[in-house]
């Protein structure tokens, strides 16, 4: 049939119009938004449309929004944290602190934890983005994990690490990184950041100007292996340079570290961010003082490889360009890496194409994640000692005394860099639930350290709205902004100041991310004396008594305590005012005090005298060990420790309780090793629980009652005294960690007991092997005890060709296995050539012919501690082989 000519012409015209529309539509979509184009092309499109000032703003962590020249780039703050759960962003599941996760020696568990954290991170990011919240702690770049080696137990931030061993650190970190970044071939789930590069592990005081000189042996055997492994084996996409200098040059302007070693030698493809304020430290008086101005420091950092600054020194980059200290194309190189990261997160693509955007908010602190937190806490607990069959506790105990500063302190369990769970189970709560038929008594016993107040909530009976004291509480005026501006939108009487608004607001009419409250009223104390007034809060707060500010707090790093000692008279009524303003998802404010003349010790001894069994919950606190803290007490300085023993006030309490002659269990809650010499000699049962997260108390009760068989191992050495160690400032590894310490430790790295027994047999290794070949090691492990349990099988290699720097032994393999009572399994390890290598006098990594010993067991091959370990010798033959550093 012949088609009429008019119809043909109309069809042709329609097709022409359609094609034109399609071409127009394609032209209308900017290249940077066209997901069919290669990422480099999309990135270049963005950069080509940016002014110099816009580029500068985008090189800083606040990530200003851009809406000009055809660009619509939403604001993006690069600063976020998820060390052991999504932190500082409202509700989240809180897992054990990193050091506790390391103690599990369980990479499979770590993978599950990391996946849970990244699920919550994605869900929270989408929630914030949909609410147009793009400030700190809302993004998808997480400045974790901390893979510095915990070389000295005095370092306050050591709790953030995976311990003192390079292999354990690498193994746990790599699994964690993969869990955060996901396995999608196109998009990152989140981006992990390894920190702090390099050789950074205290002291906290003076870190901004500290210089580290280390031997090549220590550099390649201790300080860099975990970083190299994270780059090469886990494809980590972000790295943070450290505050300190390395061999005279600040790490954040160190061309050798970042451009040569990291990018050229290791092939790092991601971006580098500075630690916060590190660029300013390059020129700041009292810090590194390498240059005189911000523009010089900023140019120096970018030329050395930095892409992103946490801080504000980069505001001077326009001056740096004007003075020819750096060129705009050099800034573009850093921007390319940053925008590549944002594209790989799917930030400029249709959310439907990015599967991670579909993760529901319901995963946040879900039942499954809370259960996982419990499992992680259970598996992080190390049984250090168990004599006289004190553990497991019997179910028929009539009266149990639970005593100590860590027995019922919720904050302690969350450690630092933490989120906020809906519920926190303390050891006291956990034991009450686990032993419902036991009369459980509780006493604080002591402060954590002399001079550190014990904050308790100020009850309503001491607060009044008027001078007439007719109504209890304080009057709160709530504003829908964080500046107390205009008329308040809500006024009410709050009986106590104890608020934790997580992903919520004081009222529906108030923006949960942007509000302020002013409380006013009067305080009447019960007795005359010296009080500590304490506030715990986030964002910004101040406390005024009689119109005099006792203290102010302004910080974006999460919640903190501020306290001051003040004389108060019971005959007087004191006017109090609290100003609190919130600018994020973490809205916390509590008004506490410590009343005078409280005899914590006497109360503890009194209840202990009536108890059948006593559980002492002692240890440390993130209020006295941590990052650059404003705390100086006996044994503590600016977040670091000066003594390894428990604080004197705790030691005295322990000795008085032990003098009663009752069965005692010592539960340690802390983030670093403690020298419990007297306690080890005199207390029959001791467990190390770290900072165990929101389910710590349940986990502790499960272990103490035998519901869960402990299986964790120490990721650090417990020394007998700080006097056994070199100077804290000395970064030489000689006499540090189990690999180089020649003394007798209190408890070894890798040590931990179980309620059951494991027997090793049939260790098989070929007696000789040619250099360059893998070495296969097999061993049989049997649960020969009465309980089902997990065992951490550890393999150590000892190079018998000793040099000045040769380690005593090195962990070269570990695996965690579950064995039912009576069950036996064969465990296999494959050692690679590098496992037999060492750094020679020419600073080269070499494998040479010689003798080695290989040990396999549940501990190190020493006589310090009991345990079944099998040892065999192996001889390597052939020509020496040189390997990559």
Residues 16-30: pLDDT tens digits? 444 444 443 445 789
- If you search the block for the tokens 């399609």, which residue do you land on? 22
Domain ranges in the chain with CATH number 2.60.120.380: 456-590
Domain ranges in the chain with CATH number 2.60.40.10: 758-883
Question: What is the per-residue pLDDT for 584?
Answer: 81
Question: What is the per-residue pLDDT for 19?
Answer: 46
Question: What is the per-residue pLDDT for 557?
Answer: 79
Question: What is the per-residue pLDDT for 22?
Answer: 42
DSSP β-bridge partners for residue 91:
420
Distances in whole angstroms, Cα of residue 446 to Cα of each of 156, 593, 602: 22, 15, 10
C-alpha 773/C-alpha 172 separation (Å) is: 26
Pairing of β 540-545 and β 498-502: unpaired
Question: What is the per-residue pLDDT for 27?
Answer: 54
Tell me the three state secondary structure of residue 28. helix
Question: What is the per-residue pLDDT for 26?
Answer: 47
Q: Could you report the per-residue pLDDT of 437-450, keeping only the tens digit for each?
A: 999 999 999 999 99
- If you search the block for the tokens 């606040």, which residue do you land on? 62
pLDDT band of residue 310 (cuts 50, 70, 90) is very high
Pairing of β 399-403 and β 613-619: parallel
HSE, side-chain direction, 13 A CA sphere, residue 624: 27
Active-site choice (152, 164, 296, 625): 625
Question: What is the per-residue pLDDT for 585?
Answer: 83
Tell me the three state secondary structure of residue 765. coil
| Phi, psi at 174, each rounded to 5° | -65, -40
Largest CA distance in the chain: 113
Least confident span in 217-231, 513-527, 575-589: 575-589
C-alpha 851/C-alpha 27 separation (Å) is: 70
For this structure, is 410 an active site residue?
no
Tokens of 736: 């540090």
Q: 367: Cβ–Cβ under 8 A, 6 or more apart, which residues?
A: none
Express as a percent the part of the chain with pLDDT over 90. 92
C-alpha 653/C-alpha 522 separation (Å) is: 36
Label each residue of 201-237 as H, E or C. Answer: CCCCCCCCCCEECCCHHHHHHHHCHHHHHHHHHHCCC
pLDDT at 859 over 70: yes
Distances in whole angstroms, Cα of residue 41 to Cα of each of 31, 46, 57, 68: 7, 9, 22, 19
DSSP β-bridge partners for residue 374:
none
Task: With beta carbons less than 8 A apart as the criterion, state whether 630 and 652 touch.
Answer: no
Tokens of 86: 């999504």
DSSP β-bridge partners for residue 577:
520, 544
Question: What is the per-residue pLDDT for 15?
Answer: 45
Question: What is the per-residue pLDDT for 556?
Answer: 76
Q: Could you report the per-residue pLDDT of 461-476, keeping only the tens digit for each?
A: 999 999 999 999 999 9
Active-site choice (165, 218, 275, 365): 275
Fold of the domain built from segment(s) 378-409+432-452+598-740: Rossmann fold (3.40.50)
pLDDT band of residue 4 (cuts 50, 70, 90) is low
Q: Could you report the per-residue pLDDT of 755-806, keeping only the tens digit for each?
A: 999 999 999 999 999 999 999 999 999 999 999 999 999 999 999 988 888 9
Task: With beta carbons less than 8 A apart as the criterion, state whether 693 and 85 touch.
Answer: yes
Question: What is the per-residue pLDDT for 502?
Answer: 76
| Sign, CA torsion 12/15/20/21 | positive
- 867 vs 701, residue with greater confidence: 701
Domain ranges in the chain with CATH number 3.40.50.1700: 378-409+432-452+598-740
Task: With beta carbons less than 8 A apart as the criterion, state whether 549 and 543 touch.
Answer: yes
N-terminal to C-terminal alpha carbon distance within the chain:
79
Task: With beta carbons less than 8 A apart as the criterion, state whether 222 and 149 touch.
Answer: yes
pLDDT at 275 over 80: yes
pLDDT band of residue 388 (cuts 50, 70, 90) is confident
Q: Could you report the per-residue pLDDT of 192-230, keeping only the tens digit for each?
A: 999 999 999 999 999 999 999 999 999 999 999 999 999
HSE, side-chain direction, 13 A CA sphere, residue 334: 30
Strand ranges (E), 298-389: 382-386
pLDDT band of residue 577 (cuts 50, 70, 90) is very high
pLDDT at 624 over 80: yes
What's the average model confidence in pLDDT over 800-826? 95
Kindly indicate whether the domain formed by 456-590 is annotated with CATH number 3.30.1490.100: no
C-alpha 111/C-alpha 884 separation (Å) is: 28
pLDDT at 521 over 60: yes
CATH of domain 758-883: 2.60.40.10
Our CA angle for 679, 684, 690, nearest 5°, is 60
What's the average model confidence in pLDDT over 306-312? 98
Question: What is the per-residue pLDDT for 17?
Answer: 40
For this structure, is 625 an active site residue?
yes
pLDDT band of residue 5 (cuts 50, 70, 90) is low
Average model confidence (pLDDT) across the chain: 95
C-alpha 233/C-alpha 230 separation (Å) is: 6
Express as a percent the part of the chain with pLDDT over 70. 97
Question: What is the per-residue pLDDT for 558?
Answer: 82
DSSP β-bridge partners for residue 594:
532
pTM, two decimal places: 0.95
Cis preceding linkage at 476, omega within 30: no
Q: Could you report the per-residue pLDDT of 546-574, keeping only the tens digit for each?
A: 999 999 999 877 889 999 999 999 999 99
Query: What 8-state DSSP symbol labels residue 404?
Result: S
C-alpha 297/C-alpha 279 separation (Å) is: 6
C-alpha 835/C-alpha 483 separation (Å) is: 60
Q: Could you report the per-residue pLDDT of 401-439, keeping only the tens digit for each?
A: 999 999 999 999 999 999 999 999 999 999 999 999 999
């Amino acid at each position: 049939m012949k088609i009429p000519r008019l119809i043909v012409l109309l069809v042709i015209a329609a097709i022409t119009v359609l094609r034109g529309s399609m071409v127009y539509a394609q032209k209308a979509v900017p290249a940077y938004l066209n997901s069919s184009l290669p990422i480099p092309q999309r990135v270049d499109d963005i950069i080509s449309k940016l002014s110099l000032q816009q580029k500068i703003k985008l090189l800083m962590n606040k990530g200003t929004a851009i809406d000009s020249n055809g660009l619509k780039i939403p604001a993006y703050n690069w600063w976020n944290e998820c060390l052991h759960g999504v932190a500082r962003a409202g509700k989240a599941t809180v897992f054990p602190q990193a050091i506790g996760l390391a103690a599990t020696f369980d990479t499979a568990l770590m993978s599950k934890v990391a996946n849970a954290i990244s699920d919550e991170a994605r869900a929270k990011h989408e929630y914030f983005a949909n609410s147009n919240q793009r400030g700190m702690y809302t993004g998808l770049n997480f400045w974790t994990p901390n893979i510095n080696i915990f070389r000295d137990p005095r370092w306050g931030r050591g709790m953030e690490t995976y311990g003192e061993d390079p292999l354990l650190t690498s193994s746990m970190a790599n699994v964690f990184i993969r869990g955060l970044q996901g396995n999608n071939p196109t998009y990152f789930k989140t981006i992990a950041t390894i920190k702090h590069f390099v050789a950074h592990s205290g002291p906290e005081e003076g870190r901004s100007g500290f210089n580290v000189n280390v031997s090549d042996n220590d550099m390649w055997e201790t300080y860099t292996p975990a970083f190299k492994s994270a780059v090469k084996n886990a494809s980590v996409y972000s790295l943070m340079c450290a505050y300190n200098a390395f061999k005279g040059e600040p790490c954040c302007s160190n061309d050798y570290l970042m451009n040569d070693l990291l990018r050229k030698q290791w092939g790092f493809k991601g971006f580098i961010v500075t630690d916060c304020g590190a660029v300013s430290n390059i020129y700041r008086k009292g810090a590194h003082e390498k240059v005189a101005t911000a523009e010089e420091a900023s140019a120096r950092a970018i030329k050395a490889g930095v892409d992103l600054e946490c801080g504000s020194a980069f505001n001077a980059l326009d001056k740096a360009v004007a003075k020819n200290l750096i060129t705009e194309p050099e800034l573009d190189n850093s921007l390319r890496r940053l925008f590549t990261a944002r594209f790989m997160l799917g930030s400029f693509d249709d959310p439907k194409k990015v599967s991670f955007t579909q993760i529901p908010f319901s995963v946040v602190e879900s039942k499954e994640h809370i259960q996982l937190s419990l499992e992680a806490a259970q598996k992080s607990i190390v049984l250090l000692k168990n004599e006289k069959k004190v553990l497991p506790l019997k179910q028929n105990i009539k009266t149990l005394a639970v005593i100590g500063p860590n027995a019922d302190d919720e904050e302690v369990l969350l450690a630092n860099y933490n989120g906020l769970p809906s519920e926190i189970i303390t050891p006291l709560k956990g034991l009450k639930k686990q032993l419902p038929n036991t009369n459980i008594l509780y006493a604080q016993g002591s402060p954590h350290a002399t001079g550190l107040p014990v904050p308790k909530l100020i009850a309503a009976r001491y607060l009044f709205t008027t001078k007439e004291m007719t109504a209890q509480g304080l009057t709160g005026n709530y504003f829908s902004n964080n500046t107390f501006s205009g008329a308040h939108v809500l006024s009410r009487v709050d009986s106590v100041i104890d608020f934790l608004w997580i992903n919520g607001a004081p009222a529906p009419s108030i923006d949960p991310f942007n509000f302020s409250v002013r409380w006013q009223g009067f305080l009447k104390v019960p007795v005359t004396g010296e009080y500590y007034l304490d506030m715990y809060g986030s964002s910004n707060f101040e406390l005024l008594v009689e119109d005099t500010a006792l203290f102010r707090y302004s910080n974006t790093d999460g919640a903190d305590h501020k306290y001051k000692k003040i004389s108060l008279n019971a005959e007087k009524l004191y006017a109090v005012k609290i100003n609190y303003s919130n600018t994020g998802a973490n809205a916390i404010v509590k008004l506490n005090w410590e009343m005078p003349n409280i005899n914590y010790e006497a109360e503890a001894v009194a209840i202990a005298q009536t108890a059948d069994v006593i559980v002492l919950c002692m240890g440390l606190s993130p209020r006295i060990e941590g990052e650059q803290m404003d705390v100086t007490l006996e044994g503590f300085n600016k977040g670091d420790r000066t003594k390894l023993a428990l604080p004197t006030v705790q030691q005295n309490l322990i000795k008085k309780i032990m003098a009663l002659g009752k069965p005692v269990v010592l539960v340690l809650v802390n983030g670093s090793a403690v020298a419990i010499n007297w306690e080890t000699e005199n207390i029959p049962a001791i467990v190390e629980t770290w900072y165990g997260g929101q389910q710590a108390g349940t986990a502790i009760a499960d272990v103490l009652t035998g519901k869960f068989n402990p299986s964790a191992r120490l990721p650090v050495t417990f020394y007998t005294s700080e006097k056994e160690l070199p100077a804290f400032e000395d970064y030489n590894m000689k006499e540090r960690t189990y690999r180089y310490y020649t003394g007798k430790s209190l408890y070894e790295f890798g040590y931990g007991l179980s309620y059951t027994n494991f027997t090793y047999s049939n260790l098989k290794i070929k007696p000789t092997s040619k250099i360059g070949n893998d070495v296969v090691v097999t061993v049989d492990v049997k649960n020969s005890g009465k309980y089902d349990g997990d065992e951490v099988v550890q393999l150590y290699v000892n190079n018998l060709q000793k040099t000045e720097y040769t380690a005593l032994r090195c962990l070269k393999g570990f695996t965690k296995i579950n064995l039912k009572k009576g069950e036996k399994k064969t465990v296999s390890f494959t050692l690679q050539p590098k496992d037999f290598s060492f750094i020679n006098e020419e600073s080269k990594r070499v494998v040479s012919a010689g003798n080695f010993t290989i040990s396999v067991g549940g501990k190190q091959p020493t006589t310090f501690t009991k345990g079944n370990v099998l040892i065999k010798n192996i001889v390597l033959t052939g020509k020496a082989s040189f390997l990559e550093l």
